[in-house]
Structure formats: C-alpha cells, structure tokens
Amino acid sequence: MNYDDNNIFAKILRGEIPCKKVYEDEFVLSFYDVNPRKKIHVLVIPKGKFVNLDHFNKNASDKEIVGLIKGITLVANKLGISFDKGEGYRTLSNIGLNGGQEVPHLHFHLFGGEKAGRMIG
C-alpha cells in the first residue's frame, strides 16, 4: 500500500499547513477538524506514514500502536470529554472507499460535547 507524502495530514505533520493543535507527543498529533460535525470534533493521527488502520496494524511497531490507542484517551481527557473526565464521546476511523475515507493518512475522529446521535447516518 503506497503512502502519499502529499496528503493534507502529511503536510500538517511537516508543519507546511497550520492546524489548531490539541495535543502532541512522540507518537501522535491531535488537532481540531476544519469542518466540525459536532460541538467538539478533533482528529488524532499517528506520526508515522500509515494510510489507514489496516495498514497501521500490519506495519506499525507495538510502541506506535500503543501510543496511538492511548493517545485517543489522552486527548479525550485533555478535552474533558472522556469517560473519566466528561460525558463520553464517539471515536471512529474511516477506512478506504466503503469506509468513506477522504484523507489517506490514518486518523481517528473524536466527536464530543453533545450526543453523537445515530451510529450510521
């Protein structure tokens, strides 16, 4: 699976395009979605070059996998929407054509601040 170095999130990771940053560590970057679908809508992405979740699980190191999964809760805690610190949220990752993925760099959406609504619209 080829990773496109010119995808928009690769440019954000390289600092070529600005983002409204929420959190960053060795493994992940999190920033607000430019087109929010809920009161709080942020994205969490791995720093490595991974196209989608399947590509990630096949190629990422265990450290990277743990870093991304834990990063989701770190971000949710920071935003005050986690199970522990808030009222919960929805996370989802679109994968490929049928998943409706637009940006070919793995990302998890976090929707919070209000009820997420129907699971599939």
Q: Which residues bind ligand 5GP (CB under 6 A)?
A: 8, 17, 19, 31-35, 94, 100-103
- At CA 77, angle to CA 94 and CA 41, rounded to 5? 40
Distance of CA 85 to the CA centre of its chain: 20
How far is residue 109's CA from residue 112's CA, in Å, rounded to a whole number? Answer: 10
CB 107 to ligand 5GP: min, Å: 6
CB 53 to ligand 5GP: min, Å: 11
How far is residue 95's CA from residue 12's CA, in Å, rounded to a whole number? Answer: 20
Residue (26 or 97) nearer to ligand 5GP, CB: 97
Residue (103 or 116) nearer to ligand 5GP, CB: 103
CB 26 to ligand 5GP: min, Å: 21
Annotated active-site positions, please? 107
How far is residue 121's CA from residue 114's CA, in Å, rounded to a whole number? Answer: 16
